[in-house]
Amino acid sequence: MAATTIRGKHVDIRLWTQPETVEDQAMRQLHNIAALPWTFRHVAVMPDVHYGKGATVGSVIAMRDAVSPAAVGVDIGCGMTAVRTSLKAEDLPATLRHLRSQLERAIPVGFGQHRATAFTDQDASDWGAFWQGFEALTPAVKANSAKALHQMGTLGGGNHFIEICLDTRSQVWVMLHSGSRGIGNLLAQHHIEVAKALAHNQELPDPDLAVFLANTEEMKTYRHDLFWAQDYARRNRAVMLRLICDVLRAQFPSVAFETPISAHHNYVAEETHFGEEVLVTRKGAIRAGRGDMGIIPGSMGTGSYIVRGLGNPDSFESASHGAGRRMSRNKARKQYTKADLAAQTTGVECRKDAGVVDEIPSAYKDIDEVIRNQEDLVEVVAKLKQVICVKG
């Protein structure tokens, strides 16, 4: 669909969804972002848009010489990884419960962590230099070094997941969704509070939209911590993917894996758009430059998509990060039951208890409609449907 433009105070708001489908809270947030003097050109709003802390989830914000920590999200570097395997549907066992249990034993979920460090040189290079970077992080997180070590290669909770999926040709895929775990959250919360206290942020329409300005010590410190946390998230997914592949190799010794697809969807990047160097914040959005491979998941009972970016300049070369929630977690818990969850995840080997009712498919937007709304941003490469879903 063509983007709809809404006039904003400083810049316009361009939406790849029908404006009437955006909840009032989220629309107010979009207008707050569009009123900031640092926001460049326009705010690009993805079809999975919904209310978030400070900035909406599903928003792409380019700024000149400034960045808002809340516009990144509290899970810095959160994103997706997927890989196609050589397995076919008929290679999988008739009962998938044992395979799901093996995955849950290999990768801690929720608040869990590894008893010993799980990362190896197979997963990424320069681990020594990376962990040395921890020593240069803000002192506010120094007490969490052991936790950061042992959470490397863990899933977390909420909407994070590990899935075994089938595409329309019955090929088996591995897909996972996670971020920078507890350390990224601590860094995000710390820097949001630091930014709020700065003098130039005292008259903002929403204190959570506080920014750091270029050429300041606060910006320098934030950028270091931010890029370290984004690297943590990338490495975290790489460790998990290797652990998942190890589980599959143990059960299917001849399995082969193609080159993984990996993409952040809560992050900052230094990019050039419309001829200007800007800091682009994608919160619940992926980069979709021409030829970029991306992953757009639905929910724990619906399909997901592998996509290729079309490089649309008006979206700052971006696309949605998923289906996007259509109701809050609290509302989902009140409205739906375990029986509803079981019905909506029929055919998927997954948790079906009260602890994940807030992740029920009905709490999310229609992923097929979300994809249709961004046909000028991405092209579909493959459609997947999960047969196993591991949740924290």
What are 249-283's pLDDT values in tens digits?
A: 999 999 999 999 999 999 999 999 999 999 999 99
The pLDDT of residue 2 = 82
Q: From the DSSP assignment, how many helices (H) and strands (E) are in the chain?
A: 9, 18
How far apart are the C-alpha atoms of 270 and 342, rounded to whole Å?
44
Domain 4-326+364-391 class, CATH top level: alpha beta
324 annotated as ligand-binding: yes
DSSP state of 212: E
Mean pLDDT computed over every residue of the chain = 96
Active-site entry in 42, 150, 190, 321: 321
Mean pLDDT of 161-172: 98
Mean pLDDT of 373-377: 98
Does an H or E element contain 32, and which?
helix 24-34
Mean pLDDT of 93-102: 97
pLDDT at 54 over 90: no
Would you list the domain boundaries of the chain?
A: 4-326+364-391
The number of C-alpha atoms within 13 Å of 18 and in the hemisphere containing its C-beta is 5
Mean pLDDT of 317-339: 96
pLDDT at 144 over 90: yes
CB 153, CB 122: distance < 8 Å = no
The pLDDT of residue 206 = 93
How far apart are the C-alpha atoms of 380 and 375, rounded to whole Å?
9
Q: In this predicted model, what pLDDT tens digit does every residue of 67-80 receive, in sequence order?
A: 999 999 999 999 99
Q: In this predicted model, what pLDDT tens digit does every residue of 329-347 receive, in sequence order?
A: 999 999 999 999 999 999 9
The pLDDT of residue 219 = 97
Strands, E, within the chain: which ranges? 4-6, 12-15, 42-50, 57-63, 66-67, 79-88, 161-167, 171-178, 212-213, 261-264, 266-273, 276-283, 285-287, 293-296, 303-309, 318-320, 349-350, 378-391
257 annotated as ligand-binding: no
161 annotated as ligand-binding: yes
Measured between its terminal Cα atoms, the distance across the chain in Å is 35
236 annotated as ligand-binding: no
Percent of the chain with pLDDT over 90: 98
353 annotated as ligand-binding: no
Residue 321 designated active-site:
yes
Q: How many CB atoms lie within 10 A of CB 98?
A: 11
How far apart are the C-alpha atoms of 144 and 30, rounded to whole Å?
34
CB 81, CB 173: distance < 8 Å = no
162 annotated as ligand-binding: yes
Q: Which two tokens stand for residue 133?
A: 């970077």
297 annotated as ligand-binding: yes
How far apart are the C-alpha atoms of 369 and 48, rounded to whole Å?
10
35 annotated as ligand-binding: no
Does an H or E element contain 51, and which?
none
The set of residues, in sequence order, having a beta carbon less than 8 Å from that of 301 and lying 6+ positions away, is 344, 345, 346, 348, 360, 361, 386
Read off the pLDDT band of 308 (50, 70, 90).
very high
Q: pTM to 2 decimals?
A: 0.96
pLDDT at 30 over 80: yes
The pLDDT of residue 21 = 94
313 annotated as ligand-binding: no
CB 99, CB 390: distance < 8 Å = no
pLDDT at 1 over 80: no
